[in-house]
Amino acid sequence: MSTDRPADDSHLREEPVSSEELLRGHFLVARRDRVRLPDASLAVREYVCHPGAVVVVAELDDGRFVLERQWRYPLGRAFTEFPAGKLDAGEDPWRCAQRELREETGYSARLWAYAGPVHLAIAYSTEVIHLFFARELRLGERRLDPGEFLDVFPASLEDMLQWVREGQVTDAKTLFCLLWAQNVRAGIWSLDWRQAG
């Protein structure tokens, strides 16, 4: 075991040799690549191609967050989540974050901050989720997509953390949002706020 985080990853690198489309569904797109491993042997890598997404930690004036309850068919149950959505083709993450929050919850925010990218399922997906914070919310009209059903409700940081601890909140993106929210709320991490564009 080395004593420091490696600075150079070249001895771990996998190089693409060839690539084919494995699946083009209505939603899922997947590829299969042949790759050359660090010892020059060959292997196969299969992965989902994802356009990227945003998730929004939106804080009400009383300090509570805007949460959603939504059915997630692959798991056969509903989950408590921060508002999130996929990028449209070529869409800027800042615009997408403002759009998704407004469409799904009805809220517009005057102040926004970008915390950074998170990679959701690095073993088999290209998905990056851009994490935003939003403040100074104003409630307007929801505009759900056809076939979209979800509840919107407020919850405190303390309640959310308690629900994680008790196993009632188990969505990975919601948990990494709470890591950020907890450290921002404690004043340990800071954000660079700017006005909505």
The footprint of its own copies on residues 50-89 (CB under 8 A) is 66-67, 69-75, 77-81
CB of residue 179 to its own copies, shortest distance in Å: 4
| Among 149, 156, 194, 196, contact with its own copies (rule: CB under 8 A) | 149
**Binding to its own copies in span 95-124, by CB under 8 A:** 105-106, 116-124
| Beta partners for residue 194, in sequence order | 112
Evaluate whether 48 touches 126 at the Cβ level (below 8 Å).
yes
- Please give the DSSP secondary-structure letter assigned to residue 123: T
41 near its own copies, judged by CB under 8 A:
yes
Of the pair 76, 197, the CB lying nearest its own copies is at 76
Residue identified by tokens 């399922």 is: 121
Q: Using CB atoms within 10 A of its CB, is residue 6 exposed (0-12), middle (13-18) or buried (19+)? A: exposed
CB of residue 64 to its own copies, shortest distance in Å: 10
List b or e across 129-141, with b for residues whose CB sees 16 or more CB atoms inside 10 angstroms: bbbbbbbbbeeee
Evaluate whether 18 touches 45 at the Cβ level (below 8 Å).
no
Of the pair 20, 90, the CB lying nearest its own copies is at 20
**Binding to its own copies in span 18-37, by CB under 8 A:** 22-23, 25-28, 30, 32-33, 35, 37
189 near its own copies, judged by CB under 8 A:
yes
143 near its own copies, judged by CB under 8 A:
no
Q: Which amino acid would we find at residue 152?
A: V
17 near its own copies, judged by CB under 8 A:
no
Of the pair 170, 194, the CB lying nearest its own copies is at 170
171 near its own copies, judged by CB under 8 A:
yes
With a CB cutoff of 8 Å and minimum separation 6, the contacts of 26 are none
